[in-house]
Amino acid sequence: MPLHPIAEDDMEVDIYSDTAATVKPGYDGRSPRAGESVSSSDRSSSPAPTLQSMTGSMYDGLFDEKHGRKVNSTCATYSMAADEPEVMRMDEEHTLYKFLFKQLFGDELFVGPPDIVDEILAFSPAEQKRIMDLGTGTAAWAIDMANRYPEAEVVGIDLAPLQPDADALPVNCRLEMDDLNLSLEHYYDSTHLIHIRLLASGIRDYPGFIDQCTGCLKPGGILYFCETDFRPYAAPDPKSIYQTLRSRRSMDRTAGGGQAGGGGDGGQAGDTKKKTKKEYISPLVLMLQAIVSALHQKMAHIDAAANLRGWIRDHKLLDELTYNELYLPLMQLFPKDAPDGAFSNEIARLVGKDFDLFVDSFLPCLLDFKSQTEVNRMKAAALEEIKRPKKQVFVRVVVMSARKKDVMT
């Protein structure tokens, strides 16, 4: 499985959309409120002064029906489904990341030396150690951490956690409702470890979100990030991004391309139209670019993965940065007898399987901008390409951590 060193390009990038793509080198790059808990009354209290128990009707009121899927009604930015099929997808995705992290980094729940986390979360009679899982979803990661660190308090926070059964949670784990695009000041200076995974599609201001998370940490606490930039890559290299055809054609015109035989004298003798081989345009790349375009129009800060290292590095209260890039393949094209070939093909199989469910989860968002017929056609073509691949497509995942300084310097 390819890893990539720290990227040199920390420029903030913007994503534009189009309808087709080709390989081209180059990187283009409420005020504070109390959390509303869904936990039972015997669980430990929130840093916020007010808790609200959720009844079934109150929980159901948090969702709307949209294009045949249940979606969260409290935040316009977050556009993925929030129903039983999404619960199953998120649990499978959690299993995938546990497998990846265990194989690549030695620990299935986070990247980095586990002794640092053990040290941060070591029992102390002087204070309760706390873990926050932001965008907890089904609370799978929060539950795993609560079982590993039974003396720590684990708080999973989401717009509407998809694991509403408090009795299924470990006694040291609870779920709270909050919009992470709003202020988190009611959690300030309360937490020792914060986990953030795949939230960029629902965050409007990611640098501000980082600042809010830092405020929630106690000195010496640690932030863990895992984000994808949703961009398709041709190779495990940030410069191998698939460009849109609009960008490619613009670059061709800039390079001086023109029609054959042009000129006031009627052109050179013997001018003929050159036959060009029709470029293969990946349906999978088109599908990813459609998702990127839709999220961009929803004002999600989906460029977070591309800029995360720079934002963290420049934050005056964070240091001890660790950074890794993973390029996850979607096509099973690795030679089986090559080093790690079987492993890479298995990752491609798992990521491809998740992609099918991932597209379905984004249908409520995609159908705001495209017809059902068009989306169905694009999805069918993308899944067919995964079954019968012609060229490799990777997605990039950025995994990093940083600690809050003990003293302000």
Tell me which residue of 210, 82, 84, 99 sits closest to 136, measured CA to CA. Answer: 82
| Cα(345)–Cα(403) distance, integer angstroms | 35
**Strands 394-404 and 217-233, sheet pairing:** antiparallel
| Cα(90)–Cα(77) distance, integer angstroms | 19
Average pLDDT, the chain: 75
Mean pLDDT of the 203-211 span: 92
List, as one string, the DSSP characters of 164-178: --GGGS-TTEEEEE-
Q: Which residue has the higher pLDDT, 9 or 119?
A: 119
Q: Residue 188: pLDDT band by 50, 70, 90 thresholds?
A: very high
Q: Which of 24-28, 230-234, 296-300 has the highest mean pLDDT?
A: 230-234
pLDDT, residue 227, reads 94
pLDDT, residue 212, reads 95
Mean pLDDT of the 268-292 span: 70
CB atoms within 10 A of CB 396: 24
Mean pLDDT of the 194-198 span: 95
pLDDT at 345 over 70: yes
Nearest 5 degrees, angle CA 340-CA 105-CA 325? 80
| Cα(362)–Cα(289) distance, integer angstroms | 13
pLDDT, residue 127, reads 93
pLDDT, residue 124, reads 92
* Torsion over CA: 256, 260, 264, 265 (sign): positive
What is the chain's alpha carbon radius of gyration, rounded to the nearest angstrom? 23
Q: Which residue has the higher pLDDT, 149 or 260?
A: 149
pLDDT at 63 over 80: no
pLDDT, residue 4, reads 38
| Cα(236)–Cα(325) distance, integer angstroms | 9
Helix (H) or strand (E) segment spanning residue 399: strand 394-404
Q: Residue 50: pLDDT band by 50, 70, 90 thresholds?
A: very low
User: In 29-93, where do the E strands start and end?
Assistant: 36-37, 63-66, 69-72
Q: Is 230 exposed, middle or buried (0-12, 13-18, 19+ CB in 10 A)?
A: buried
Compute the residue count for the chain: 409
pLDDT, residue 147, reads 95
Tell me if the pTM is above 0.75.
yes
Write the DSSP symbol of residue 275. P
Q: Are 249 and 294 in contact (CB under 8 A)?
A: no
pLDDT at 68 over 80: no
pLDDT, residue 302, reads 79
pLDDT at 279 over 60: yes
List, as one string, the DSSP characters of 311-358: HHHH-TTEEEEEEEEEEEE-S--S-TTSTTHHHHHHHHHHHHHHHHHH
Q: Is 326 exposed, middle or buried (0-12, 13-18, 19+ CB in 10 A)?
A: buried
pLDDT at 400 over 50: yes
pLDDT, residue 14, reads 35
pLDDT at 264 over 70: no
User: In 14-160, where do the E strands start and end?
Assistant: 21-23, 36-37, 63-66, 69-72, 130-134, 153-158
Q: Are 39 and 174 in contact (CB under 8 A)?
A: yes
What residues does 186 pair with on adjacent strands? none
Q: Residue 365: pLDDT band by 50, 70, 90 thresholds?
A: confident
Q: Which residue has the higher pLDDT, 232 or 82?
A: 232
pLDDT at 154 over 90: yes
